[in-house]
Structures are given as structure tokens and as C-alpha cells.
Structure 1
Amino acid sequence: MRIERHQVDQSAISAAREGFVDRIGGMVHSYSRAGLMTATEWRLIAEEFLDYLGALSADSPALDTPEAKAVLKDATEAAAGAIAFAAYYPHDRFHVFLDYPNFGMGYDPEEADGTVRRRIVLPQYWLDALCLAILSDKVARHGEAFAFTWKSMPAGGGYSAAQLVNGLMAHLFGDTRDQDAPHPATAEQRLAAIDTALAHIEDRDSEAALALRTLRALAAEDRAAFDTGMLSLLDHTGGTRPRSLLPCSRWPWPRSPIARTAGSPPSTPTTCRAPWSPASRAPAPGSGASAATGARTPSPGSPPGPSASTGRPCRSPSSPTARPGTSSTPGRRSTRDPTTATPSPGSRAP
């Protein structure tokens, strides 16, 4: 069975593609000059990348061109940057870098603005960023930030998106809200946590509820239910923005490291084809299970949460991915150390 994508007006596709290089370069530098780049700015940058990626998919649905791969990578990093800002500010140092516009921002707790209030990441924004991380195989790299921001969220109640967050944390990282449960949770405990999340959802017909049932099928190794759920999720996609042509940026389960053995998922209209397996999961953040987790413990007395600090733009003049129209603010530029230009998964520039 094959699901055809919905149609997006050609004028929207053209608008997203025309002048993108200059537009994204101007966007990141305008934000950096206007003041502190917070989670909001990084999220808006990610959305701009996704609209361009959706427009590219109109001609190349497989998204296998170098341009599409570069855009997906930076969409992921920008979205993860929003999560990192919420997780680490103002208590810890971290860095976000986008190769496409050759632009980065470093944050130092010693320059933090303590007057900016901490904010909790909304479940839907958290889900959007995690789905991109799954699609780009960057879950392990950014897992710690996702875990920190999840812990600062309310338990979820009947809100379906919040319960989907709980289910994903249980399945991907073996992390539940049961303080007495071992960590990481066993396969049975992960499945039980997903069942608990499902039981709390009030709107059983919501898209997030359907996604959680599909995730449960994956955890339970129920291939038939998983296929049915994926087809239903893809059938629910729609919208007028070019990014709506990317269903796998919203529900990327078949593409993810969650799924990696023999077999193939339902036929889908974009780059979602990948082996299916319920077995593989990302290591728990901070578990030390893999060097890819990049586990790091925050400084004592420094709970995660979004606040503010002044950030410093940086760029690499010699970067082969540099694009035109991306100059930085004089006096605030720093050159990346070549040894940290391409950090290993889980690492951050000091």
C-alpha cells in the first residue's frame, strides 16, 4: 500500500525555495544582533529550514541530495538548540552550530542574564525536536538535553502530547516517572509506562494518542499493529506549509534507531523507508552505556531550565559549507577550534 502526499500550493513551494540562502543567513545574523538567541529563535530557524526542506521534497521526495541532507542536519541542530537552551541555561556552557549558514552561538554561564525567567518546554515543541533527532540519528547526541527538559515538565495529566513525551522517554531511554523503578527500565517496565501514559489520555482520537498506540505496538513487537498505526499517522498528515510535506519529520519511527532489523515499514511517500525493529533503543542519558551518550552531570546547585545568558556568534571562515551573505557581527565573532568543528555525538564545544 502506498500513501500519496497531499498537495501544497506551488506558490508556497516557490516562496520557500527562492532566495533561501540569503534569507536564512540574514535570519540567523539578525537574531544574533538583536540580543540573546533563546529557544524561540532557534525554533523559528528550524521551521525555516523545514519549509525549505519540504519544498525540496516536491522534486526529490527521497531527500537524498547533498542539499537536502545539509538542510535536514541544520534543521535538527536548530531544533535541538532550542531544547539545549531550555536544559542548560543559565547554569552550563553549550554551543549550537549550523553548517549551512556557517553560523554558531556559544553560551557561557559566567555571562548569564539572571533576570530572564526560566520556561518549561511545551510538549509539542519537545516532540518536534525529538522527531527530527530521530530522523537524523542524533538522539544519543542530544539525549541529555531531552531528558533534562522532560524532567522539568508537569507529569502530563490527560494531555495527549505530554503523555506521548512520557511514552517516548520510557521507550527510548528507559526513563519513567517512577522514582522506585530501576534505571534504565526493563522492556516490561517500558511497556508498562507506555500503557500508563495511554490510560491517562483523555482525547483518545488525537493524533498524539494514535502515535502513542503506534509506539506501544513497536515496544510490544506487534508488527501488524505498528504497520496499521503508521499508515493511519501518515494518512492524517496535511497542511498548507511546505514543511507539511514531510510526514517523517513528525512521525519518524520507521527511520529511527528505534527500528533496526530485518523487514520494512509500510510504503511511505518520503524518506521513511528503513528496517523495522522494536529492539534497538538509545542509551539512557548519563548511563555511561555508550560514549555516544555524551553524559555529563550539571554543576551542583545548577538545575536545568531555560533562562538567559549572552551568546557569542562564531563562524569558521574556512568552512567548506560556508554560504554567501552570512557575515557576523564585528567584535562578537570567534573562530571555532578545528578540533571541535565536528563534535562527536554527545559532545559539546567547551
Structure 2
Amino acid sequence: MDVSWTLWALTILGLCALIAVDFFIGRKPHDVSIKEAGTWTIVWIVLAVLFGIGLLVFGNSQASGEFFAGFITEKSLSVDNLFVFVLIMAKFSVPSHLQQRVLLVGVLIALVLRAIFIAAGAAIIASFSWVFYIFGAFLIYTAWKLIQEARSDDEEDEFEENRLLKSIENRFGVADKYHGTKLFIQNNGKRVLTPLMVVMLAIGTTDVLFALDSIPAIFGLTQDPYIVFTANAFALMGLRQLYFLIGGLLKKLVHLSYGLSVILGFIGVKLVLHALHENGVHVPEISIPFSLAVICGVLIITTITSLIASKKQAEREAAEGKDAGDKDGVDGPQGRNSEGKADIEA
């Protein structure tokens, strides 16, 4: 898809305008309700759909299909980010009324860093076609690691700060408590970071780790930097509202890692086949419609099986609790009767 610099500028300005509207509507710190989170989640999804339709009308069907495939993939991979966001919020004990501000700025930092990754990835792909082999192998390896982690009994329940974040904290110092929405304060004549600034940086920089697999994944669906960037932008900007909307449901998505591993492995194979095709090897290439069908199908099946498994687990726990209660109720009276009988005989 041939994209002019004018269209690039208009797209970035449009995204900035939407972000500004989102910011000013929620500029006052407050607890986000389910209604507010649901409304904004729908708004961002509708905007993404309208953008995809616009690509179909003013561009072509291939560009539109690549955008929707990339958007759905990035959105599904971004849901995995929410697990880490929950850990970060708990690690820094972020007050509930400040969490929306943290996520907004943190996601903006992540978007800027991803834009840099996308530009670098596009430049590398344009110069070296063999990089598809590396991207493909990396995605297949990541898929395998996800399966191993999903099958492991060890659960990570604590967030570990990365080296960049630790170095920033050591360089500037951190206040001992939150000061509203302030990012810096004066402490004994020295300007130090507030915990709010630290947690914003934590979310923004931690997303870079997720970008290591999500960026190669979307380049496996399209090599158009414009589509890669816009798909990432729409997926990330709706992430803040999704955090509040499905935060309580995250633990029920017990098969999400399996679904994501299938998607990453599938795209990894697609990348390898594409690289072989580019090098003159006669192998079948996976089309965008087929890719979109596989991605949607895996996500639907994963969600259904996750909810079924979570429901069965809840029923088992309830039954075990009931059995334990019944056993205690039976043992108690029997013990008292036995003692009572003994007293009478005595």
C-alpha cells in the first residue's frame, strides 16, 4: 500500500486528537466504572473497524484484511500484558483512582517505543529478506516457551523491575508516597520521582518485552509499516479501558497462553514459508483470509474452553468446601454424643 507522508501526518494527528479527547474526558483522577470502561472499549473497537473499512474503500481489500488480522493479533497479545499490569499495580500499591492515569501515560510510552521498533523492523526487512527466517524461528520458539510456562505449576505472582527502571530510580531517587498526579517533587532540596512516575515508566518499558514477539508477529501478517503502526496503535489505545473491563475475568482465561502459543507458532510457520517463497522455493503461502480465520477461530475456542474449565474448577472447589463442611458437621455431634454417652456410663 503506497502511503504518502501527508497521510502519515494526518493519521498521527488523528490519533493524537483521539488520545487528547480520551485524556481530557478522564483528566480528573477517579475510579473507573464498568460502564465507563465498557463504553470506551466499544468506542476504540468501533474506531478500529471504521479505519479498517476506510482502508477497504480508499485502499484495497488486501490492506483492509491485513489491518484486521494485525489488529486482532495485537489485541489478543495485548490481553496478556494485562496480567503483568495487574502485578505492577499491586507491586507499587497504586491507588485505584490513579490507575487510569498510570495506564494512559504508560501506554503512550509503550506506543512511542513500539513505533521505534516498527521503524527499525521495517528498515531491516527492506534490506535483508533473510530476517524472516529469524522472525519465524523466534516466534516458533516463543510459542513453545508459552506452552511450557502454561504447563508449569510455578506461577509468577510478583513483578520484578527491569535494569533500566532500577537505574532511573537510583539516578533520581523516589519519594516515599504518592503525591496526587504529580510526577516530580522537591525533597530536601532535591528533585525526585514520585511513585506514580515510576509505575508509569514500569508499564511503558515492560511493554518492550511484549513487543519482542508482537512486532515480528504482525510483520508476519503484513510488511506495510503503516498498517503495522496503526494496528498497534488501535490495539494499545483500547488497552487501558480493557484493563478495567475484564480485570476480574483475567484469571478465568486459563487457556489464553495455549491460544497465543498456537497463534504465534502459526505466524512463525507463515513467516518461514514466506521467506522460502521469496528465495525461489516453491512452497504454498498462507493467505490473509486464512490467517484471519485461524486467529479468530483459535481465540474463540480458547475463550470458550477457558470459561468452561474455570466453571468446572469453581464447581469442584464449591463441592469440596461443602463436603468439608458436612464432614465437620457430622464429626462434631458424634464426638459430643460419644463423650456424653461416656459420661452417662460413668
- Normalising TM by the smaller chain, what interval? under 0.3
Q: TM-score, normalised by structure 2?
A: 0.27
**Which structure shows the bigger proportion of residues in strand conformation?**
1
